[in-house]
Structure 1
Amino acid sequence: MESCMKTTTTTTDQLSPTSVLAPPTPVVLGPCAACKILRRRCTDKCMLAPYFPPTDPHKFTIAHRVFGASNIIKLLQELPEFRRADAVSSMVYEATARLRDPIYGCTGTICMLQKQISVLQAELAKALAEKVNLQFRQSHILTLIHMQMEQHLPISPSLQQQNLFENLCLLDGCASIGSPEPLWT
Structure 2
Amino acid sequence: MQFIKTNIPDVFIIEPKIFGDDRGYFFESFNQKEFEEHIGKINFIQDNESKSSKGVLRGLHFQRPPYTQSKLLRCIEGEVLDVAVDLRQDSPTYKQHLSVVLSGDNKKQVFIPKGFAHGFLVLSETATIAYKVDQYYAPDYDSGIAWNDIEINIDWGVSPEDVQLSEKDKNLKALVEIEHPF
Q: TM-score range by the shorter chain?
A: under 0.3
Q: How does the TM-score come out when normalised to structure 1?
A: 0.19
Larger strand proportion of the pair: 2
State the structure with more CA Rg.
1
Q: Looking at both structures, which has the greater relative contact order when contacts are Cα pairs under 8 Å and sequence separation is at least 6? A: 2
